[in-house]
Amino acid sequence: MIRGKFITLEGCEGVGKSTNLEFIRDYLQSHKIPLIVTREPGGTPVAEQIRTLLLDHTNEAFSEQAELLLMFAARSQHIKHVIRPALNAGKWVLCDRFTDATYAYQGGGRRMDIHTIESLEQLVQGTLRPDLTLLLDAPVEIGMKRARQRGQLDRFELEKISFFESVRRAYLLQAELNPQRIKVINANQALADVHLMIMEILQRILP
Ligand code: Z5A
């Protein structure tokens, strides 16, 4: 059995991950790729409960360590029950956010030690890394404007603009460090043009 491919979608709030996820799903399915679509934090019943905890802004404030550990606790459940079994069964996995989000939000945004994140990545994932990551990038103001139009904001979306500037910088640094895996897509253009760029990249990895 050939292992499936693991594709992740990343970017700051409101850059269009959910919107483009649907496009990618439809595109891959039209090429008869067996696929599951999932998200982080979340993807299993327990991990979804952790997500609810993490995003609820009415909870007591999280310590930075608790937030980081909960992200990886959810990820561990997700990998064990969803991601690895699917890849081993030859399915492709399309995931809305993964560990690059931890480097961006907890590393960049919360300024947590990168070596700690690397150690947890190693502990929880072993050798598992995405085969391809699409990083949707747009000026923070644009994404936040789009996110605000959507309605109620979660615990992360209530952060200051400087937080999201740091998140964006950390994402772009991840892309610089992993140019083979992470492809940066300008999300500050018409959706049809974003789709064209995504298609061009996906075509290169289709069987
Ligand atoms: N988090 C973390 O801290 N550490 C981690 O390790 C992980 C996550 C895994 C939940 O993520 C939070 O968890 C997240 C980081 C943290 N922080 N927040 N917030 P999430 O993915 O669920 O949350 P999100 O970033 O807010 O994603 P979202 O709400 O799904 O936004 P989006 O998917 O990027 O945007 P969208 O809903 O597709 O688009 C927003 C609007 O813009 C919508 O009306 C679209 O129609 C419109 N749009 C999209 N593209 C365009 C273009 N090109 N032109 C015009 N309009 C557009």
Cβ(196) to ligand 1 under 6 A? no
- Residue of 9, 10, 18, 62 best suited for mutating to test ligand 1, as the one with most atoms within 8 Å of CB: 18
Listed by start position, the domains of the chain span 6-203
Q: What string of DSSP letters covers the chain?
A: -PPPPEEEEE-STTSSHHHHHHHHHHHHHHTT--EEEEESS-SSHHHHHHHHHHH-TTSPPPPHHHHHHHHHHHHHHHIIIIIHHHHHTT-EEEEE--HHHHIIIIIIIS---HHHHHHHHHHHHTT---SEEEEEE--HHHHHHHHHHT----TTTTS-HHHHHHHHHHHHHHHHH-TTTEEEEE-SS-HHHHHHHHHHHHHTT--
Cβ(101) to ligand 1 under 6 A? yes
6-203: CATH, from 3.40.50.10540, 3.30.310.50, 3.20.20.220, 3.40.50.300: 3.40.50.300
> What pTM does this model have?
0.96
Instruction: Kindly give the confidence (pLDDT) of every residue in the chain, 207 residues in length, as a single tens digit, with 9 standing for 90 and above.
Output: 899 999 999 999 999 999 999 999 999 999 999 999 999 999 999 999 999 999 998 999 999 999 999 999 999 999 999 999 999 999 999 999 999 999 999 999 999 999 999 999 999 999 999 999 999 999 999 998 888 887 777 878 778 889 999 999 999 999 999 999 999 999 999 999 999 999 999 999 999
Cβ(41) to ligand 1 under 6 A? yes
